């Protein structure tokens, strides 16, 4: 082939020859994608994408998540080292639906030179929930059945970027998705054990709507309520009434909610003869510590479902789905 190109251009026009050789060299540089001599470099925003893909891709890819434990994706801005990591990636995955809103421009620029896929945006809009602002609710990972479909879009992209691994990715994805199916069944079972009247999740952050929709729980977010204002006091009063009327035994908080608001709820309910406890902290936008069970996507949802069910009067094994949950001393302990 080289000879043919050479013959065609030799002695007549030098520049096209150089251009042809440059093109040949460029094609040769891309060729390792067909027979890779190194793992695919994959960068994700949230770990709810990265950890499952690490399980699925095994040795064929090095998967790095930019957002770690306790990091808020709504506010996160890419650092200089993130930008360097992203620039070196073969493939980039983010969740989208305006979750990582501060990273949108950076990711948009990268999309010109490599696959950059917003996996939650690959779902049919009919499956998505909307927020009061009429935008789509971005917290799709709270529903493992929807998240499986979003991850499947990522697996397609991996197979496209590393065609030799196609069968490998698909086989391992099926095995992982089967585990998600077991998780889904477990959550259905433990939520069904909660007395029907108590199937209400009062939590700090509006991250649990997909979870509530999938498993039949009412979800009430208390973020933004201020006891400083008349409206805030009325909102707390309203919430106290709801807790008492439905006999809801627990609320779920995160450190971002001022302690006094929670105290106001607990004292308000107590004044009406109803005991409310803090049911424990749920994982919302970030998973637990890397290396722990709660630091896996399945472990994160296992933790949430198990803590919820136990605190709301249902039955669930303290160790959760796989007996691997860390059980804090004050985990609610209602059974």
Q: Please give the residue ranges that form the binding site for Zn ion (CB under 5 A).
A: 207, 285
143 vs 285 by CB, closer to Zn ion? 285
183 vs 207 by CB, closer to Zn ion? 207
CA atoms of 106 and 77, how far apart (whole Å): 10
Other C-beta atoms within 10 Å of 125: how many?
9
Bridge partners for 277 per DSSP: 250
CB of residue 4 vs Zn ion: minimum separation in angstroms?
58
DSSP 319: T
Residue-wise burial string across 201-237, b where 16 or more C-beta atoms lie within 10 A, e elsewhere: bbbbbbbbbbbbebbebebbbbeebeeeeeeeeebbe
Please name the residue that has the structure tokens 């970030």.
286
Containing 183, the helix (H) or strand (E) segment is: helix 166-192
Please name the residue that has the structure tokens 């994608």.
33
CA atoms of 39 and 57, how far apart (whole Å): 10
CB of residue 237 vs Zn ion: minimum separation in angstroms?
26
CB of residue 137 vs Zn ion: minimum separation in angstroms?
9
CA neighbours closer than 13 Å in the CB half-sphere of residue 84 = 3
**∠ CA 292-296-301, rounded to 5°:** 110
Q: Which residue is nearest to Zn ion (CB)?
A: 285
CB of residue 97 vs Zn ion: minimum separation in angstroms?
11
HEC string of 49-117 equals HHHHHHHHHHHHEEEEECCCCCCCCCCCCCCHHHHHHHHCCCEEEECCCCCCHHHHHHHHHHCCCCCEE
Please name the residue that has the structure tokens 């391992």.
172
CB of residue 73 vs Zn ion: minimum separation in angstroms?
7
User: Using an 8 Å Cβ cutoff, are 286 and 72 in contact?
Assistant: yes
CB of residue 135 vs Zn ion: minimum separation in angstroms?
12
97 vs 316 by CB, closer to Zn ion? 97
98 vs 166 by CB, closer to Zn ion? 98
96 vs 165 by CB, closer to Zn ion? 96
51 vs 285 by CB, closer to Zn ion? 285
C-alpha distances in Å from residue 144, one per residue of 49, 94, 132, 196, 235? 12, 17, 23, 22, 32
Bridge partners for 9 per DSSP: none
209 vs 296 by CB, closer to Zn ion? 209
CB of residue 88 vs Zn ion: minimum separation in angstroms?
28
207 vs 309 by CB, closer to Zn ion? 207
CB of residue 187 vs Zn ion: minimum separation in angstroms?
19
CB of residue 72 vs Zn ion: minimum separation in angstroms?
7
74 vs 188 by CB, closer to Zn ion? 74
């Amino acid at each position: 082939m080289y000879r043919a190109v050479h013959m065609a251009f030799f002695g007549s026009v030098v520049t096209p020859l150089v251009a042809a050789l440059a093109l040949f060299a460029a094609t040769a540089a891309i060729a390792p994608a067909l027979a890779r001599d190194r793992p695919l470099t994959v960068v994700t925003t949230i770990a709810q994408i990265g950890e499952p893909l690490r399980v699925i891709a095994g040795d064929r890819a090095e998967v790095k998540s930019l957002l770690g434990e306790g990091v808020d994706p709504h506010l996160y801005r890419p650092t200089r080292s993130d930008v360097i990591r992203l620039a070196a990636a073969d493939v980039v995955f983010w969740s989208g639906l305006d979750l990582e809103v501060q990273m949108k421009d950076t990711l948009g620029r990268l999309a010109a030179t490599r696959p950059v896929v917003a996996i939650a945006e690959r779902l049919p809009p009919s499956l998505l929930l909307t927020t009061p602002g009429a935008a789509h609710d971005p917290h799709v990972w709270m529903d493992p059945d929807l998240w499986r479909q979003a991850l499947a879009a990522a697996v397609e992209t991996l197979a496209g970027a590393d065609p030799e691994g196609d069968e490998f990715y698909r086989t391992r994805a099926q095995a992982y998705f089967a585990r998600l199916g077991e998780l889904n069944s477990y959550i259905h079972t433990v939520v069904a054990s909660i007395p029907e009247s108590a199937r209400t999740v009062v939590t700090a952050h509006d991250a649990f709507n997909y979870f509530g929709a999938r498993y039949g729980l009412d979800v009430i977010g208390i973020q933004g309520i201020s006891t400083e204002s008349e409206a805030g006091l009325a909102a707390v009063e309203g919430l106290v009434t709801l807790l008492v009327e439905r006999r809801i035994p627990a609320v779920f908080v995160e450190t971002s909610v001022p302690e006094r608001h929670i105290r106001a709820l607990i004292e308000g309910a107590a004044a009406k003869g109803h005991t409310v406890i803090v049911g424990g902290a749920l994982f919302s936008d970030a998973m637990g510590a890397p290396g722990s069970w709660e630091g896996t996507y399945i472990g994160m949802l296992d933790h949430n479902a198990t803590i919820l069910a136990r605190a709301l009067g249902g039955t669930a094994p303290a160790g959760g789905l796989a007996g691997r949950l860390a059980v804090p001393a004050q985990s609610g302990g209602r059974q």
